[in-house]
């Protein structure tokens, strides 16, 4: 019976292979006009993949037939004391229908304890659960050694900073790049400072006060700055704004020269000490 089944399987495998070969030959004339390249490689890939799947299927069927035919002999082998309690014996028992490898040996066995009608059972933890727990211990030790002891890998914070640095490389490095600081020098010409004062009075005074003493926004005349007091930092703050602090972006409303003019005017107010100045905010800059 076993030899007949093996012969049938071999015949089935040969028939499928012939069918695949015939399909490939039938497609060859239609694809002969196409240039050899990606299509040929994909066809070869799928042919090899289907062949591998067929081989695995035949192997599984063949292995299953062996287990079914030899089940009585395997059961006798499994019942031997030297085999039954070993790990390999548990695998053998799973093949012949004993799920002890998955469920454990003891299940709903009374331990002889009885408290007011409440009995205690002795149930094994499922072996798969215990092995999974052991794997987590090994993983934890390896993780601790790799990341914290040897410091061979980046932790979450360092990995985040690295990804952010890589992301900045994808932003165009032009005048509209908020990550690129300009290299302007403060304007000193009276005409530019007057123009900057006019812009400040019209657009900035409602939040920062007519003399930049600070109202809703911070005081711009002292040595303390939330986002940098150097001319290019002020330029960046005005141009791109700080949404989280309520500072709007003036990009698109003021030209680049106007932003530099008002930035230069603000820089000229340093140390003016206007009346009613708001308390310092941010970090001190000399």
Is residue 157 one of the residues assigned to a domain?
A: no
Question: How many domains does the chain fold into?
Answer: 2
Does the residue 273 lie in any domain? yes
* Domain boundary residue, one of 69, 85, 119: 69
CATH number, domain of 205, equals: 1.10.760.10
Give this prediction's pTM. Answer: 0.42
Could you say which of 16, 48, 69 is where a domain stops? Answer: 69
Task: Return d(Cα 127, Cα 111) in angstroms, integer.
Answer: 20
Spatial contact of 225 and 192, defined as CB atoms under 8 Å apart: no
Element (H, E) at 248: none
Tens of pLDDT, residues 260-284: 999 999 999 999 999 999 999 989 8
pLDDT tens digits for range 60-92: 898 888 888 888 888 887 778 777 767 677 777
Query: What would the pLDDT profile of 160-207 be if each residue is shown by its tens digit?
Result: 888 887 776 555 555 677 778 888 999 999 999 999 999 999 999 999
Domain final residue pick, 17, 52, 69: 69
What's the domain range around 25? 2-29+37-69
- On the question of pLDDT at 152 being above 50, the answer is yes
User: Of 134, 126, 2, 143, which Cα lies nearest the Cα of 69?
Assistant: 2
Instruction: Judge contact between 283 and 228, C-beta under 8 A.
Output: no
């Amino acid at each position: 019976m076993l030899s007949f089944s093996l012969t049938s399987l071999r015949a089935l495998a040969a028939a499928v292979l012939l069918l695949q070969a015939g399909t490939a030959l039938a497609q060859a004339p239609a694809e002969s006009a196409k240039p050899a390249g990606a299509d040929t490689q994909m066809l070869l890939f799928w042919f090899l993949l289907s062949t591998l799947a067929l081989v695995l299927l035949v192997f599984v069927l063949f292995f299953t037939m062996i287990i079914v035919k030899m089940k009585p002999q395997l059961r006798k082998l499994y019942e031997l004391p030297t085999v039954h309690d070993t790990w390999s014996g548990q695998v053998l028992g799973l093949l012949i229908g004993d799920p002890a490898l998955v469920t454990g040996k003891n299940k709903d066995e009374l331990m002889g304890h009885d408290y007011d009608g409440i009995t205690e059972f002795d149930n094994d933890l499922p072996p798969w659960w215990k092995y999974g727990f052991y794997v987590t211990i090994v993983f934890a030790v390896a993780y601790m050694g790799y990341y914290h002891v040897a410091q061979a890998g980046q932790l979450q914070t360092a990995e985040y900073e690295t990804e952010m640095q890589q992301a900045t490389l994808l932003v165009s490095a032009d005048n509209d790049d908020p990550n690129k600081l300009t290299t302007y020098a403060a304007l000193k010409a009276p005409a530019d400072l007057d123009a900057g004062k006019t812009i400040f009075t019209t657009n900035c005074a409602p939040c920062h006060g007519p003399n930049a003493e600070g109202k809703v926004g911070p005081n711009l005349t002292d040595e303390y700055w939330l986002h940098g007091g150097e001319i290019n930092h002020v330029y960046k703050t005005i141009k791109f704004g700080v949404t989280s602090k309520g500072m709007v972006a003036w990009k698109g409303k003021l030209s680049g020269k106007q932003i530099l003019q008002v930035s230069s005017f603000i820089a000229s107010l340093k140390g003016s000490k206007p009346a009613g100045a708001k308390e310092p905010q941010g970090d001190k800059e000399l």
